[in-house]
Amino acid sequence: MTVSMLERARANARKIEATTVEFRLGEIEHLPVADETVDVIISNCVVNLSPDKPQVFREAYRVLRPGGRLMVSDLVLNGPLADSVRKNVEMYVGCISGAEQRERYREQIRGAGFTNVEVVSESGYAVGADAFVEGSAEREAFVMVTSVKVRGQAVRPASPGGCALGALLTAVLASAVQGQNGTVPGEITSQRRRSRPPSNGRSNSS
Ligand SMILES: C[S@@+](CC[C@H](N)C(=O)[O-])C[C@H]1O[C@@H](n2cnc3c(N)ncnc32)[C@H](O)[C@@H]1O
């Protein structure tokens, strides 16, 4: 992502008076977003360009709120690519050479902590194939490529630190109440009951 891309996005947002969008400069391996602040992450054909996909999915998991969802559209592979294709820069920027093997891609998402990881749709991909001579390794590589949409959910385990803090606060509050009047909270209630007037509504002194 570049500064000029950001400038264009902001100019377009102003043009259509879109006031509820915000654009931040960053990389998918290091999102400029605080922990657990995001409801949904969508991405179209970007992850395959990252040389460190496990880190991309760890970042996605980090910023999602508990229950937050991920939906990624990407290219994956169904077999190995020829060495010449893997080293071909044109094939890399064309989103082919950097693509991950299909099953490993899903494992990387799961490895970051996501649950309910599933491929919700898939189709063949041949964009740009015509630029290569028929029978060439580059042209053949497109047979290995599938366009997929994969989803996952950031269902986080309950934080043990949070429970311990809750128990500690309860204990501190209980001892504070006890310290004020020398009783525990249950005893305060029974003392009030004892000092109520008789059930005929008259007090003892009348
Ligand atoms: C194939 S385009 C897809 C663009 C857009 N998502 C779409 O659907 O039209 C890939 C985009 O990913 C961006 N990109 C590549 N590597 C990136 C990274 N590590 N972090 C953030 N963006 C990256 C590139 O600048 C480019 O704009």
Q: Tens of pLDDT along 36-83?
A: 999 999 999 999 999 999 999 999 999 999 999 999 999 999 999 999
Pocket of ligand 1 (CB under 6 A): 1, 27-29, 44-46, 49-50, 95
More confident residue, 41 or 195: 41
pLDDT band at 183 (very low <50, low <70, confident <90, very high): very low
Q: Where are the domains of the chain?
A: 1-30, 34-154, 160-194
**Mutation probe of ligand 1 site: the residue of 1, 46, 89 with most atoms within 8 A of C-beta:** 46
Q: How do residues 89-109 score in pLDDT, each as one tens digit?
A: 999 999 999 999 999 999 999
**CATH numeric code, 34-154:** 3.40.50.150
Alpha carbon 97 to chain centroid distance? 26
What gap in Å lies between CA 64 and CA 114, rounded to an integer?
A: 10
Q: How do residues 109-118 score in pLDDT, each as one tens digit?
A: 999 999 999 9
Name which of 156, 55, 159 is nearest 112 in CA terms: 55
Residue 65 CB contacts under 8 Å (≥ 6 apart), including other chains: 36, 37, 38, 39, 154
Q: How do residues 120-167 score in pLDDT, each as one tens digit?
A: 999 999 999 999 999 999 999 999 999 999 999 999 877 665 545 444
What gap in Å lies between CA 155 and CA 116, rounded to an integer?
A: 9
What's residue 160's pLDDT?
66
Nearest residue by C-alpha to atom 1 in ligand 1: 45
